A and B are shown apart, each in its own frame.
Chain A
Amino acid sequence: MTEAHIGVPRVKPEDAPPPQRSRPRRTAGLDVWLLLLPALVPVALFSMYPLLQGIYRRCTGAQAGLNQVTHFTGLENYQDLLKNDLFWNSFKIGLIWAFSVTFLQFVAGMGLALLLNQDLKLRWLARTLSLVPWAMPPVVVAILWRLVYDPNSGPVSGVSQALGFGQLNLLGNFETALPAVIVVGVWAGMPQTTIALLAGLQSMDDTLHEAAAVDGAGAWRRFLHITLPDLRPVIIAITSLNFIWNVNTFDLIYVLTNGGPGGRTMLPMLFAYNEAFRYGHFGVAAAMGNVMVVLIVGLLLFYLRSRLKGVDK
């Protein structure tokens, strides 16, 4: 009785009369397929199929991949990879990049979100500015920062010259190229981080904060013991997504440094692109892609697990 009662509101009126039940259901099913067909066909053909191909291809020695009989080589591509220093170098740089950019995005985004959550004048300006990088084409973001870092006419080098340190070529210098590029990554990724954290802050319950303030807890302690635990789901979600996006970065680096100087900013996706479209090593590129997928899937599992844990609490 109760079960039926619960079930009733979910069933559409046309489905409701028991004798006719099976027929309308089936037509409804057909309707759904018809409605979805225009979306399904292109997605299946141009996105799911290539993806499966890509996963299969990693296990074949396809070079340039054209009209060639591919044979199953299993893990050979990976053995080649293990011996490839350039690959490991790129992988290492990718991890440094992804971890530092994600961490700094979180810290900077959190700071800005906390400020935007306060009743400050000129808040609108910071809010608008923090959104702009989102709307810009990544290629333009890269060009923008090339201008800022330019050794001859850029302001960074200009300040250095004014202080008597001479010209500064941040992007061309072995030691400074990666940190300089990381700053750009943080700048470009601030919007979504700030907005997600701000939304989390604004949906928080103020009463706990007020109670803690009455009990004499300082701002820092309230942040540590109330804000952070409360924001946990948002923080985990946005940092995981940021990490994945950062691992997949391509456009920014391609235009900023193209991997240089001397491979110091050769992120994994750029490495894979060069292998595939400059040297024709499609198999190596696909293998690199798969290594990144394993990394990403591992992270997703971690994310889902901590989400479930949060629900249990």
Chain B
Amino acid sequence: MSIGRTRTRTRVGQYVALAAYVVFLGFPLVWLVSTAFKSTQEIALGATGLIPSSPTLDNFSAAIEKANMIEAGRNSLVVALATTVLTVAVTLPAAYGLARFKTILRPITMGWVLISQVFPTILVIIPLFLILKQFQLIDALPGLIIVYVVFTLPFCLWMLIGFVAAIPVDLEEAAAMDGAGRFRILISIVMPLLRPGLVATALFAFISAWNEFLFALVLIQTPSKVTLPLTLSRFVGAEGQVQIGALAAASLLATIPSLLFFALIQRRLTSGLLTGAVKG
């Protein structure tokens, strides 16, 4: 009887704790959405209710107009897509080579992956700035794309090597016996089997490029070339108190693509794990 009671008490405690976590994690998100739909007057009056008294879409149009959202969104999209395509194109052969051949490059690469994950960006960014300047890649989207490819590459490589290693070698050996060349094997045998890994890598590259801020801040100056995080950060400085609703709306719009892509990755990863479990 008493054991039952302590168990119920534990359960209640657990639910209280879970509720506290849900509030801590979820409340700021709800607040962002709520602020995005509040009218300027309501915000100015300091009304701190959770539900907007007269929901409006004005903030979204103001955000699109004043925060340079369309142009910045297009720049962000171009940069993120180019980064994704280039990263996958460069990572795929490298991951295949490193997973399939024993070479001294493998421990070196792994060491580099570790270093690149822990190094303060600020230390690299100054010399990088000067090098890019020599190539006239400062204040240009191609320069930003190159930098993003180089800095998302290590983690993508590490991820993809794991996926390649999971594909049985027998298949490739059979194809080689039938006379298929190395390139042919890569295209028609490895690629199709590697699709989940490629999707995960691509989405990771996309989100990284879409969210990145520091490189863009240092490398981009012209207003017509800014990315979304940049334009958002400038909007904070320039408009301050007055445009809080528009700021929330702009942030919400900028988050939607990465949230969508993240949801995609998640499903991919879980389905990948599930199929692995079934086969195992």
Contacts and interface: CB of A to CB of B under 8 A. Distances in A.
Interface of A: 12-14, 28-29, 31-36, 38-40, 42-43, 45-51, 53-55, 57, 65-66, 111-112, 115, 118, 120, 122-123, 125-126, 129-140, 143-148, 150, 152-155, 157-159, 161, 187, 190, 219, 241, 244, 247-248, 250-251, 254-255, 269, 272-273, 276-277, 282, 285-286, 288-290, 292-293, 296, 300
Contact of A143 (B105, B236, B258): B236
Contact of B98 (A36, A53, A131): A36
Contacts of A157: 48
A40 B249 CA distance: 41
Contacts of A40: 94
A219 B10 contact: yes
Contacts of A136: 211, 255, 258-259
What is the interface of chain B mostly: helix, strand, loop, or mixed? Answer: helix
Nearest to A296: B118
Interface centre among B14, B105, B213 (most CB of A within 10 A): B213
A269 B126 CA distance: 13
A123 B22 CA distance: 10
Contacts of B112: 43, 48
A139 B22 contact: no
B126 A54 contact: yes
Closest 7 CB pairs of A and B: A158-B48, A289-B123, A35-B97, A135-B262, A53-B127, A50-B127, A137-B211
Nearest to B131: A50
Contact of A153 (B10, B29, B47, B101): B47
B225 to A, nearest CB: 17
Nearest to A157: B48
A289 B127 contact: no
B224 interface: no
A32 B123 CA distance: 31
B64 interface: no
13 contacts: A38-B93, A39-B94, A50-B131, A53-B130, A130-B25, A132-B25, A135-B255, A137-B228, A138-B229, A147-B35, A153-B46, A153-B244, A155-B50
B25 A290 contact: no
A12 B229 CA distance: 49
Contact of A42 (B14, B93, B146, B248): B146
Interface of B: 10, 14-15, 17-18, 21-22, 24-29, 31-32, 35, 43-44, 46-48, 50, 89-91, 93-94, 96-98, 101, 103, 105, 112, 116-128, 130-132, 146-147, 149-151, 153-154, 157, 169, 173, 176, 182, 207, 210-211, 213-214, 217-218, 228-229, 232-233, 236, 241, 244, 247-248, 251, 254-255, 258-259, 261-262, 266
Contacts of A36: 93-94, 97-98, 105
A210 to B, nearest CB: 16
Contacts of A144: 28-29, 31-32, 251
The majority secondary structure among interface residues of chain A is: helix
B94 A38 contact: yes
B163 to A, nearest CB: 16
Contact of B262 (A35, A50, A111, A131): A131
Contact of B213 (A53, A115, A139, A150): A139
B62 to A, nearest CB: 15
A218 B259 CA distance: 41
Contact of A43 (B24, B43, B153, B182): B153
Contacts of B93: 34-36, 38-39
Contacts of A50: 124-128, 131
A250 B122 contact: yes
Contacts of A152: 43-44, 46, 241
Contacts of A241: 117-118
A195 B22 CA distance: 16
Contacts of B48: 153-155, 157-159, 161
A32 B25 contact: no
Contact of B251 (A51, A115, A143, A288): A143
A180 to B, nearest CB: 13
Given A42-B90, A51-B119, A147-B247, A132 B259 contact: yes
B94 A54 contact: no
Given A36-B98, A39-B157, A137-B258, A12 B173 contact: yes
B22 A129 contact: yes
B21 A130 contact: yes
B31 A138 contact: no
Q: Point out which of A129, A153, A154, A161 has the most chain B C-beta atoms below 10 A from its C-beta.
A: A153
B24 A187 contact: yes
Contacts of A14: 176
Contacts of B182: 31
A120 B31 CA distance: 26
B247 A126 contact: no
B259 A247 contact: no
Residue of A129, A293, A296 contacting most chain B CB atoms (<10 Å) = A129
